[in-house]
Structure 1
């Protein structure tokens, strides 16, 4: 399998003592890899380091075989990301927002904006002001913007955060369809474990800045537990000092 993302011993500590320590995982072509953990666990920090929004204290990050520390532009050529809040200008229409973003890509093919609007189901709403969009529509607009450059890896922080059940289903189906039809690899983060179970084929659990278990979803669920049960059992073991619930334990891939 082609390795799209390689993260090794990633460490980033902030002055308040929070951060991440020795995070290691790989994402392969075709994956929808979910990074799960509670708020404040370190998910966004990991994604920010991967995308160059902050610098790690130590560790290695490679995208498509290129290290972001000294080959950043080459590493990010086929990567797009939505980190934290999806931002758009409310006083502009959806199409106008996308035209603004398209200026960053001078070689963008004519008609690409129409293509991504159709992919995310916003063609009928492209001339409406974003102020009239629902939260789910704003998420889809952010996804459309991230698709403009034909990314092969899309990194999305909390894609279903704040959405109602219909919005969650919309975003979930979009991710699954784009992964299947466009062969886009996804790295997503979430604190909503039931969504992870329905979207991802591989997951990693992060708690207090450490990635303590990861693996193929089917392998993790081979004893018919839910991801929620697995996570709670692991966290309880960590709190009680159970050596069987050790950090960095991986399932068979």
Structure 2
């Protein structure tokens, strides 16, 4: 599925990466447009995190191209990443520092970042009342929220999240959901989200992609894919089974 060119934020074209153990991803292609919330699903080891790392410059593809905001990730990295926020794999922070201090330190990488921006993102992720507490006292879910706040600091137009609701309680999941929906709708921010929480992602995603065996076996708009009343979980399990039986060719 390709979005209109004037709204194109990311273009992934036949990206391939193979590790020594034979795993990786192969010929993955899709696009992201303004305001898209793209859910990326797949079994453990299917290649989801590899794809996210390639898109954010944390590892290099063997072949294929990634373009963000019209800039190639390999030849114009700084320009490509200038409007991108991300949280990949772990929510790292300095545990001896407060949440606010962590964000203030991260904010030094962004010229002209106003002080009020830190308070704004802390409020969005529900950490305003814990801002001055040391991160060592945060729960896993609170650390996840702090990482999301960090990804939001620079007012990005694309946010890449790897399991953003991991460790969150129900209230935390709802808070993160509402933040994503609000930013996509009011600011046109695009999100690429890897997650195992399909019922949750079904509530917010506009598009989904399923990776299995390193290949993107299904991709499209949520409303179109689930038009017959099928749930995301049912659609996912059916797609994986069809691929294993050789009934989906990519």
State the TM bucket, normalised to the shorter chain: over 0.9
1:72 shift after superposition: 0.9
Instruction: Name the residue aligned to 1:250.
Output: none
1:196 shift after superposition: 1.8
Query: What is the RMSD computed on CA atoms of the aligned residues?
Result: 1.4
Distance 1:93 1:82, change over 3 A: same
1:85 matches 2:90: yes
How far apart, in 1, do the equivalents of 2:244 and 2:117 lie? Answer: 50
1:234 shift after superposition: 1.8
1:246 matches 2:244: no
1:92-143, Cα deviation, whole Å (9 max, x unpaired): 1111111111111232123221222222222211111112222222111111
Instruction: Find runs of 4+ consecutive structure 1 residues off by over 6 angstroms.
Output: none
- The answer to whether the 8 A contact 1:48-1:54 is kept is yes
Instruction: Name the residue aligned to 1:118.
Output: 123
Instruction: Name the residue aligned to 1:218.
Output: 223
Unpaired runs of 5+ residues, structure 1, are: 248-253
1:174-220, Cα deviation, whole Å (9 max, x unpaired): 21122223332111111222222122110001001000111000000
Candidates 41, 46, 50, aligned match of 1:45: 50
How far apart, in 1, do the equivalents of 2:158 and 2:95 lie? Answer: 27
Q: 213-222 or 98-107, which moves further after superposition? A: 98-107
How far apart, in 2, do the equivalents of 1:56 and 1:241 lie? Answer: 27
How far apart, in 1, do the equivalents of 2:186 and 2:145 lie? Answer: 17
1:14 shift after superposition: 0.4
Normalising by structure 2, we get a TM-score of 0.93
- The answer to whether the 8 A contact 1:238-1:246 is kept is yes
- 3-state DSSP class of the match of 2:26? strand
How far apart, in 2, do the equivalents of 1:67 and 1:90 lie? Answer: 35
- 3-state DSSP class of the match of 1:111? helix
1:15 shift after superposition: 0.5
Normalising by structure 1, we get a TM-score of 0.92
1:169 shift after superposition: 2.2
How far apart, in 1, do the equivalents of 2:84 and 2:228 lie? Answer: 35
How far apart, in 1, do the equivalents of 2:94 and 2:140 lie? Answer: 14
How far apart, in 1, do the equivalents of 2:135 and 2:173 lie? Answer: 19
1:11 matches 2:16: yes
Candidates 227, 233, 238, aligned match of 2:232: 227
